[in-house]
Structures are given as C-alpha cells and as structure tokens.
Structure 1
Amino acid sequence: MSVLKVGIVGGTGYTGAELLRLIAGHPNAEVAMITSRAEAGVGVDELFPSLRGYTDLKFTVPDVSELAACDVVFFATPHNVAMKMVPELLAANTRIIDLSADFRIRDAKLWSEWYHEEHLCPELLAEAVYGLPEKKADQIKDARLIACPGCYPTSIQLGFLPLIEEKLIDTSRLIASAASGVSGAGRQAKVDNLFTEISDSFKAYGVSGHRHLPEIEQELSEAAGSDVALTFTPHLLPQVRGIHATLFSEIRDPAVGLDELQFLFEKRYADSPFVDVMPLGSTPQTRTVRGGNMCRIALHRPQNRNTVVVLSAIDNLVKGASGQAIQNMNLMFGLEESAGLNGISLLP
C-alpha cells in the first residue's frame, strides 16, 4: 500500500504535537499538511524543536480544498471546529478522525445540553463511529468518520466493559474516581494550570457533571443493552501526563471468584494489542504507560466482599487521544493495528 497522506487541523496543541511525533515513526503514513491560523507560516520544528530533523513542514491556514487531497484528516481542535468542515471533506471522500467531542454523542439535543450550543451537522451523528478499537474495530474498518473517545472515557470503559458485557455487575450504581495529569486541560494559558497552582496539590473538579460523562454512559449502556448510571468524579494530578481510574461496581453473584474475573478480562483482551491485564494483586502506575499507547488494568476484590475494584492506567495524550486516533487510522486503512505505536513507555 502507498504511504497515506495525512492532514492535521489544529496542530499546535498537545494532541497535535503527539500526532506529529507518532506519525513521524509510522511506516505507512506521513503528514502532508498541518494547519494553524495563529502560527501560519511558522515552521513546525520552530514551535516543537523535538521534531527537528523529522519534518520541514510549516503551519498553514486551514483550507478545505487542500485538506481534501489528503487520505485522512485528523482534527486536534476544540469542540465546534470539526463540524464546520467535516461535511465538505466527506463529500470529497476524505476520511476523518476527530479528536474533539463534536461527534462522540449521538443525540444532538444531549450534545447541546453539555456543550451549550447547537450542533451544526446532526445528520452525521448517526454515521460517526465511536473510535474505541477494543469495542468497535469492525465498524471502524468501514468508517468515513471516527469520533475518537475522550481520555477519561477510554480508561473507564476499558475497565468496565468485560464486567458489563457479561452482565456480572449492577449497572445502576457504577462509580469512577479518576485523576489526570494537567496536559489533559490542553495547551493554554490558564491560572489553574500554572505550576505554582497545581504543584504539591490534588483536587477534584467537575463533580456536579463533567462533559465526558454522557459519552461514557452512552457507550456502556450500548454494551449493557440497557441504561447505565455512572457517578464520575475527575481529579487533577500534579504531573504532566497520565490518567489513573479507580472503578467500583457491585457483583451480582457473590459466588463468582476473583480468579474467574481475571480469566474473563484476560480472555476479553487477549487479541487487544494495547490492553495489558496485569496479574492479580497488581497496581498499575501512570509512569508505566507514559508515552505509550497501552492501557494497563488490574482487578481487586477488597476483603472478598461484593465490590469489584478495577484499576486502569493510560497516557491521556496517547491511548487517551493521539495514539488511539492513529490506532483508528490503522484499522480504517487495513494496516497493522499497532503500526507506528510499538514504542515502549518511558521509565523513569
């Protein structure tokens, strides 16, 4: 197969930088153009010196007619940007992988409730495939439009899915307590993101409702075949990268042992190259997934009571965003699912 021509819209943020880093080592893809209105004319390696020697591209103003010449376009943009350009790109037979939230929620009214504006192309919501490869690989392969999952939703869904699919837990009272590094807030100047504000501190936020909640409930409900109710509390970690999710659920049949649950998870993810079900008693750490596309999962059942605790750790910028987007691209174009994503996580 010829090398894929990739376009990136919104290349100056952290997810855009990660797309550049990962595609630079991809054997079957190359970035043909990268856009930024604010940095138009600036060399990519000027803004990201780590990419010196890997690209000679300059940022350009986004132009749909030029982007349409690409095989696939990634949107690494805030919400409400992709939906303004996607219809025209699809009409030109360009495939789309959107890392924003524009197409994750299939109900346009619900999307508007959480994002406080009208969706501009609700007719595409039913077509968009939610890009969690471990759940929807077959649909991803034939998709024109991928809605790449959020970072919290990725770590939480991978931890709950085997239990929900086998109807082993009470889905009316799921709990997820998850913490993310500050890069999850994006590359923007905000007081709350300053080093002196986050260092040596730990806090919850979005407790009354976080925008990732509806997509998590949507996808878990689909897996369950009925409505799922999740209490989700995110936290801010005083570190750059990583998400650690602690997931709580009540098992329906107390006779089901922890070893049986371990076998279930190992079987469920046996063919998933980027899910590592760790041995019983393990506690995954964010530093063991930093820079890689792996999700590490471990199971616990404290005091052998009815509460199952699943621990899930990912890099929010890789498996939680750009790495997962490339995993989707690989599936869309019939490439090896792990192409360009085999790098080992950084430790220490």
Structure 2
Amino acid sequence: MTVRVGILGATGYTALELLKILVRHPEVEITALTTRQEDRPHISAIHPQFHKVLDLRLENWGPQEVAQHCNCVFGCLPHAASASVIPEFLEAGLKVVDLSADYRLNDPAVYTQWYGGDHPDAERMKTTVYGLPELFRKGIAEAQLVANPGCYPTGVTLALAPLLKNGFIRADGIIADCKSGASGAGRTPKMATLYPECNESFTAYGVGTHRHMPEIEQNLTVYAGKPASVIFTPHLVPMDRGILSTCYALPDNDASEKELLSLLEETYANEPFVRVRSDLPATKHVSGTNFCDITVRRVKDRVLTISAIDNLVKGASGAAVQNFNLMYGFAETTALL
C-alpha cells in the first residue's frame, strides 16, 4: 500500500525533518509540497539536502489542488492558518497530521486566551485526537485528523504522566524547567536567534506566557484526574537542536527513587521510543532520533524527572510519522528505527 503524501508549508525545519524521514519510508510517495511563494522553487533550492534525492517543486496550491495529488497531508503551517484550511482536506477525504497548535487544546476559550482570536474550527478542536502515542494511543489508528504534540509538552508529559497517574506526585506545584536549541524557534529569522545574539549566551524566554503551558497542564490533568498546575519556564541554549526538561514535583507518598524508576520502566517497557535510564539523559544521546530518554531522582523533599528529546524529531516530525504509521496500520517504527 503506497500512500501519496503532501506537506503543507514545506520550507521550515519541521518540513525538512519530515522529508528526511518520508523519503526512506517504504510505503510513502511524496507527491505535493506547498509554499506561499509564487515562483515554484525546487525543493533542492529550499533544502539543499535533497539535491538528486527528491525531484519536486513547491507549489502555491490550495486544498483542492493538493487533494488531487494526495491521500494524506502533514500540516506545517503557522497557527490559525492551519485550522483555516484543514477542514477542506478532511471534507475531501484526506487524513491529516497537523503539526501546528491549532487542534492540541480541547477548549476553544483556552485557545483564544493563549493564541488570540477565535478558533477557525472550534467545534472540531474539542474532539481531535491528541497524537502522543505512548500515552494517548487510543483513537489515533481510527482518526482522520491527529493533533501532533508540541515539543516541550512531549518531554514533560512523558516524564510526569505515569507518576501522576499512579499517585506518586502531586498535581499542584509542578515546575518544568526546560532548555531548547535554537531550531525550536523555527527557520524564520528572529533577533533572538541570530548567531551574534544567541551564541555564547543562555536566556529564559516566554516566562509565564509560553503557549505550551496550557497544553502541558491539559495533558497532566488527564493523567492526574484532577486539575494540574505547572510553572513552565523555557530557555534558549546556543545549540542547533534538542530539549532537556527538568521537572520538579512534590511527592504524594514515600516511594523510593528505585520504586519511581521501576514505575517508569514498567510503564514504558513496550514503547519503542521511550528509554528509561538509570543515568542522566543528554540531548546529544537523542539527537536526530525519535527517542525520549527519561530518568527520575528523589532529592530532599522533591521528585525530579529529567527527559531529553530532539525537538525536531520526537518533538515534531518523528512523532508525526509515528502517528501516520498508526493511522495507516504500518508498524509504528517504520522509517523511524
């Protein structure tokens, strides 16, 4: 079974990583790449890595034209722009994995609070399947639309959710202290990520205002069975890629560090892309992979979890292909291991 696949908004870093994975996927034919540019650039002019690998031009096509060439699309469009066109793809019968934030939250009012403006497809966002397979696998296989998780929420949620579900930590007072490489800001030039600005520097940003905070709280609330409260602080680190998330939580029982680690090991024993470690995870160890490495520590009166992911793979495009594989009944690890 060959699936004809398109990428909406194919000029950014997440699209680049998607293409790297999809060109080696045995069940995929890449048939459409879109852009807002009018001059139909060749893919190798945008991503030189694909010179003599992929012979396609980026087209300024609308949903109807894309639908003529594809069975499935990956949405790499900006927030709000994605939800304004995805309904047309769904109506045309295509399956969609959306990498924007448009369908991650299930409350339109929360979306409006954090993203501004009314949601273009508010009713659908309430029922869209959240695409973190390790914890929300149910429903992905049958879904026509999957909301791919944010990069920060992926590492934080995978580390904390099992501890919350089993009553090992409290749902309130959680601190998520996260560090990301510059590619997390996207490919569009920004002052903060220009080389002279971020090199030899280390800074926090979006303190109390980052849009991934409500997504993290939504995920953890599901697993805690009660409202979760998180203080999330992201930091920019002068490296290309990777996220290291150190989370601090209050224990809800006297479980030992060994017991906490055993719980994580049992939870993820059959998950191909989560590696529970006794040593400390590092971004270098997951770079370019779809793995999430996790460990846990007891330090004084706190439980600490540490997770590492590649923000562009497990935090974006690798997870998207993982969801795609589930949606089409392929082995979940296809093209990822």
TM-score by length of 1: 0.95
Cα deviations by residue, 1:86-139 (Å, 9 ceiling, x for unpaired): 111111111111100111111111101111111111111122111101111121
Do the aligned partners of residues 174 and 117 (structure 1) sit closer, same or farther apart at CA in structure 2, a change above 3 Å counting? same
Cα deviations by residue, 1:73-92 (Å, 9 ceiling, x for unpaired): 11111101111111111111
- CA–CA distance in structure 2, aligned partners of residues 53 and 295 of structure 1: 32
- CA–CA distance in structure 1, aligned partners of residues 275 and 199 of structure 2: 30
Runs of 4+ in 1 over 6 A off after TM superposition: none
Number of equivalenced pairs: 336
What 5-or-longer segments of structure 2 have no aligned partner? none
Cα deviations by residue, 1:139-189 (Å, 9 ceiling, x for unpaired): 111111111010000010011011011011111111100010010000011
CA contact (8 A) 1:132 1:149 kept: yes
What 5-or-longer segments of structure 1 have no aligned partner? 343-348
Aligned residue identity for 2:209: G
CA contact (8 A) 1:179 1:244 kept: yes
2:320 maps to 1:335: no
Instruction: Map 1:152-231 to 2 at 5 A.
Output: 152-231=152-231
CA contact (8 A) 1:6 1:30 kept: yes
Q: Match of 1:311?
A: 306
Instruction: Map 1:224-243 to 2 at 5 A.
Output: 224-243=224-243
Task: State, as a whole percentage, how many aligned pairs show the same letter.
Answer: 42
Q: Match of 1:345?
A: none
- CA–CA distance in structure 1, aligned partners of residues 171 and 38 of structure 2: 47
- CA–CA distance in structure 2, aligned partners of residues 335 and 74 of structure 1: 17
Aligned residue identity for 2:113: E
- CA–CA distance in structure 2, aligned partners of residues 65 and 43 of structure 1: 21
CA contact (8 A) 2:74 2:96 kept: yes
TM-score by length of 2: 0.98
- CA–CA distance in structure 1, aligned partners of residues 302 and 61 of structure 2: 50
CA contact (8 A) 1:79 1:102 kept: yes
2:290 maps to 1:293: yes
CA contact (8 A) 1:9 1:62 kept: no
Q: Match of 1:247?
A: 247
- CA–CA distance in structure 2, aligned partners of residues 286 and 301 of structure 1: 22
Give 1:327 shift.
0.4
Give 1:53 shift.
2.2
- The 3-state SS of whatever aligns with 1:60 is coil
- CA–CA distance in structure 2, aligned partners of residues 277 and 323 of structure 1: 19
- CA–CA distance in structure 2, aligned partners of residues 285 and 151 of structure 1: 16
Aligned residue identity for 2:322: Q
